[in-house]
Structure 1
Amino acid sequence: MAGMTTRTWFITGVSSGFGRQMAEQLLARGDRVAATVRLKGSADDLRARYGDRFWLDDLDVTDLPRVREVVDAAFGRFGRVDVVIANAGYGLFGAAEECTDEQVQHQIATNLLGSIQTFRAALPYLREQGGGRLIQLSSVGGLTAAAGASLYNASKWGVEGFMEALAKEVAPFGIGATLVEAHGAPTEFGRGNLQVAEPLAAYDGTPASFIRNIKNGSVPLAGDPAKIAARIIGSAEQDPAPMRLVLGKDAYEGSAAALRDRLAQVESQKTTAGETDRDS
């Protein structure tokens, strides 16, 4: 996908955050965007400004049959979509014990199952048209783990495994796949589009309680949303597609440290791992 050309993009969750930033930048440069919002009317201003170049539909990605319907409609509207971005998602924070069953189910349904279904619905079209690009908004939380973020980590670690395997499945069809490992940024995700579980006194003063400060805004977020959106857009020009796009110094440092620690855990068992093999 070398060279700057006019393209058509499908993006879930453009009412705010990185999704909104990407849609605005793409439309401003002349591309076409098919997009979804969970809150009806939250992107009508873009439709009014950009007319036929911006196609919009309402979608809650936890409704898996509806995801397929909307993807079908988007391809039907534009005929070809070059880049599919699974951006819709939110953060559920709090110790695992503090989260309700409903919160757990909704977090996984949104961040993991919604993304899986978005790409599954798009793949027949991308194969038929001879290629395309899949971009998944993951997080530094897809490579690291933090007390108080166990359910959010679960959703992002799940999508990481899915995308790594999917990239191998679709490469023969000229389809590239990228995971975006972005750090925190002052978007609606960082300041409003998140949930913090009802705290239990037992976790006061423990590592899991730190996450409660996110809701009141006392956790600094260093990322620049516009710069992050621009880098994500630019990644579609890279050939081959980067498997991971790490955005932010803290994202790099945190991910690298976590990966080194995991590797050390595995390598320390090099001499004992084979003890469970069958005798030859």
Structure 2
Amino acid sequence: MGFTPKKRSRRIRGKCKAFPKDRRSLPPHLTAFLGYKAGMTHIVREVDRPGSKVHKREIVEPVTILECPPMVIVGLVGYAPTARGLRTFKTVWAEHLTEECRRRFYKDWCKSKKKAHIMEIQVNGGTVSQKVDWIRQHFEKQIPIVNVFSQDEMIDVIGVTKGKGFKGVTSRWHTKKLPRKTHKGLRKVACIGSWHPARVGSTVARAGQKGYFHRTELNKKIYRIGLGEIIIFIIYTYNQAFRHSWRPLRQRPQKRNRRTSRLSSNPKATHLLNLT
């Protein structure tokens, strides 16, 4: 019930609702980055987990490729603390904005619908004056992914899931199917509540929307970041059981993927590999 109500997300772009704690001892830096899912592949790794049946054996892990083109800083938003939380204090925009950025400010842009994705990212490190100076120095400049994340770093991934449309209660809530001889269907909930209160409770599994939900996945490990035509960024779910199971990885595709099988030295695009 932690994800109820299960309804469609209002935005296709993931929203970062919490940022890391600010540490003034560090230099000013960004705390998030935008990326786009490009595809999936797999890797083969050796498990080092004594006592497990797969100890010293190779296993196949799925990975996801994310494309992360450089981001451009176009503005600065300052917040002031109040009794009811933070309040917007001042907004400063860069002098020269790109065409894709200005399209986002209009509801109907007759020339093109290709609008830039704009989001607010918290700047951590240093004092307030140092943060303002750092942002002003980077106005209208590109920030690559390597300036924000590094290899072997643990991060969280935020996004909107794939939409499935209107689904039944068994597909949506994974309820147990009824016996074969049940009247009027098997993929249903047998009892949806008592006679009184004369209404269906909010905790009763019902049919409805499935997918296109805003979700956050925690503890993803960055295995590799490449700077080329195809940039690889591998993320893997990490927990206590896998603490001693990391070994050098190698990619062994079953079928040749022209988009992800080789690397070049062209620093135009950035791709990420996400191990789910």
Same fold (TM over 0.5): no
TM-score of the superposed pair, with normalisation by structure 2: 0.21
Structure of higher RCO (CA pairs closer than 8 Å, 6+ residues apart): 2
Considering fraction of residues, name the structure with more strand.
2
Considering fraction of residues, name the structure with more helix.
1
TM-score of the superposed pair, with normalisation by structure 1: 0.21
